[in-house]
Amino acid sequence: MIDLKQLRENPDQFLARLNLRSDYSEPIQQILALDQQQRSIEMNRSQLQARSNEIGKLVGQKMKSGVKADDPEVQTLRDEGNQIKAQLSELEPQEKELKAELEALMLTIPNLPSETTPLGKSEEENVEVKRWGDEYLPTNPDILPHWEIGEKLGILNFERSVKIAQSRFVSLIGAGAALERALIRFMIDRQTAAGYTEISPPFLVNTASLTASGQLPKFAEESFKCDRDDLWLLPTAEVAINSFHRDEVIDADLLPLHYCAYTPCFRREAGSYGRDTRGLIRLHQFDKVELFKFVHPDTSEQEHQALLQNAEAILQALKLPYRAIELCTGDLGFSAIKTYDLEVWLPSAGKYREISSCSNCGDFQARRGNVRFKEAGKKGTQFLHTLNGSGLAVGRTMAAILENYQQPDGTVLVPEALQPYLGREVL
C-alpha cells in the first residue's frame, strides 16, 4: 500500500512517479479529498470526545462535593453531554464509511517505481543487462517443441488432461513426473544451501493474504476462488510467505529473513487467450519454487541483487542459456519498485522466455500486511522491505531442458547436475 502521508505532503511528486507506470489510472485527487474529509471528521470527533470526557469529570466532581443531581448547573452539563453523544453517534459511522472508502481506493494504487528503474512505456523498452551461456546453445538443427518431444517420449499428456479438467492442464507420466520431482528437490536443496529456510505453506489462502501481497483487488479475475470458504487457490507462494509474518513486529536483529517454498500455483491466465496455447509455458496449474525475503530497508538493494543471483545459480547449474533484463517503469508489476526478469532460451521458438521474475517491493506489501520491525534503543517501529522471485518456475525449466538438451536421435540428455536426483542420464 502506498504511504498516504507521503502522498499528502508531496502529491505532485507522487503523481509524477505514478504516471511513469502503464497501469495507473486511479484519481489521486479523490483520495486526497476523502483523506481531508476523513481527517476533518476525526478531528471534530476527537474534540467532541474530549469535551464529553471533561463533562463527565465535572459532573462527577460536583456530585462528590454535594451538589444535587437536579441542580441546574449539573443538568446543563448533562444536556450538553447528551448533545455531544448524539453528534458522536452521527460522526462515527460517517468516519468509518469514509475510512473504508479511502482504504478501498488506496488498495488500487500500484507501487511507485524506484528512482533507478529505467524509464519506458512498455516491455519494448526493457533493458537487457546480462546474457549467459552462449557456449551451451544447442547445435541440433531439428529441435522439436518441448510438447512434441515430451509426447513422443511418453512423459507429457495434454489430451487426457483436457478430459480430466480442461485445456491448459498437463499430466506428467513416468520419467516426466520424476523429472518434475527431481527439479523441485534440486532447486530447494540449492536454495536452502544458499541460506533460505524452507516453508511448506497452505495451498489455499484467505482474502486478507491476497490483499496483503497486492493480488487483490486488481487480480481477482486471475485467481480461482472457493466462495463457500472465502479461500483462494494459491497463485504463487509469494502470497503465503508474505502473510507468514502479517501483523507482526520483528526484532531487527533477526533480519534478514530468507524463505523458500515449493508449491503448485493456480492462475486463470485471463487475458492470455490465444497465447502459448500449447506446452508448459502458460498453464492453469504449474509448480514453482519461490524465494522470498523480509529485509531492513537499508539493505534492500543489495538483497535484491543477491536474490537475482540465487535464481541465476539454478540456470547456471543446469547450463541453460539465459538473459537478464531490467523492466522499465511501464512494465513493472503492481507491487514492485524494481524488477529483473530472467529469460531462458527456447530454441524451438528462437527466443528467450521468462522463467523468473525477481522483484523488490519496498515497503508496499509490508504496509498492506502490517509487517514491521523494531531496532533496539529506538522508539517506534518501521515497515520492512519485501522481495520475491522464482527460483525457478518448474514447468518452464522442464520445457527448457527438453529443448536445449534434445538430441538428433530423439532422446533428451539429463543435465549433469540433475542426474543424481533423477537417477538417469538420458530420457
User: Are 357 and 325 in contact, with CB atoms under 8 Å apart?
Assistant: no
**In terms of Cα–Cα distance, which of 396, 147, 156 is closest to 279?**
147
> Is position 5 within any domain?
no
> Is position 157 within any domain?
yes
> Is position 116 within any domain?
no
Which of the listed residues 106, 137, 158 is the one where a domain comes to its end? 106
The amino acid present at 79, given as its one-letter code, is D
Instruction: For residue 46, indicate whether it is catalytic.
Output: no
**In terms of Cα–Cα distance, which of 279, 252, 286, 282 is closest to 269?**
282
Q: Report the predicted TM-score, pTM, of the whole model to 2 decimal places.
A: 0.90
> Is position 20 within any domain?
no
- For the chain, the distance separating the N- and C-terminal CA atoms, rounded to the nearest angstrom, is 47
Find the catalytic residue in 26, 101, 148, 354.
354
Instruction: Give pLDDT, residue 270.
Output: 61
Residue 378: CATH number of its domain: 3.30.930.10
Residues 287 and 173 placed together within one structural domain of the fold: yes
Find the catalytic residue in 8, 78, 181, 282.
282
Which of the listed residues 78, 106, 134 is the one where a domain comes to its end? 106
Q: Write out the three cell numbers for 173.
A: 507420466
Residues 165 and 96 placed together within one structural domain of the fold: no
Residues 69 and 153 placed together within one structural domain of the fold: no
DSSP per-residue letters across 210-248: HHHHT-TTTTGGGS-EEGGGTEEE-S-HHHHHHTTTTT-
Instruction: For residue 348, indicate whether it is catalytic.
Output: no
Instruction: For residue 39, indicate whether it is catalytic.
Output: no
Find the catalytic residue in 357, 367, 372, 403.
357
Query: In whole angstroms, what is the distance from residue 244 CA to residue 146 CA?
Result: 36
Residues 45 and 155 placed together within one structural domain of the fold: no
pLDDT < 50 stretches in the chain: none
Phi/psi for 124 (5° steps) reads -65, -20
Find the catalytic residue in 17, 168, 190, 267.
267
SS3 3: coil
Instruction: Give pLDDT, residue 130.
Output: 96
Instruction: For residue 267, indicate whether it is catalytic.
Output: yes
Instruction: Give pLDDT, residue 275.
Output: 67
Residues 74 and 158 placed together within one structural domain of the fold: no
Instruction: Give pLDDT, residue 312.
Output: 98
Instruction: For residue 367, indicate whether it is catalytic.
Output: no
The amino acid present at 17, given as its one-letter code, is R
Query: In whole angstroms, what is the distance from residue 109 CA to residue 106 CA?
Result: 6
> Is position 158 within any domain?
yes
Residues 180 and 264 placed together within one structural domain of the fold: yes
Residues 238 and 367 placed together within one structural domain of the fold: yes
> Is position 382 within any domain?
yes
Instruction: Give pLDDT, residue 424.
Output: 95
> Is position 18 within any domain?
no
Give just the sign of the alpha carbon dihedral 367, 368, 374, 375: negative
> Is position 95 within any domain?
yes
**Total domains, the chain:** 2
Find the catalytic residue in 367, 368, 372, 396.
396
Residues 62 and 192 placed together within one structural domain of the fold: no
Q: Which domain holds residue 62?
A: 27-106
Residue 146 to residues 151, 155, 357, 412: CA-CA distances in angstroms? 8, 11, 22, 10
Residues 266 and 406 placed together within one structural domain of the fold: yes
Instruction: Give pLDDT, residue 65.
Output: 82
Element containing residue 386 per DSSP (H, E)? strand 385-393
Residues 272 and 366 placed together within one structural domain of the fold: yes
Residues 74 and 184 placed together within one structural domain of the fold: no
User: Are 33 and 11 in contact, with CB atoms under 8 Å apart?
Assistant: no
What's the pLDDT tens digit per position in 390-426? 999 999 999 999 999 999 999 999 999 999 999 999 9
Which of the listed residues 71, 106, 141 is the one where a domain comes to its end? 106
Residues 40 and 177 placed together within one structural domain of the fold: no
Instruction: Give pLDDT, residue 274.
Output: 60
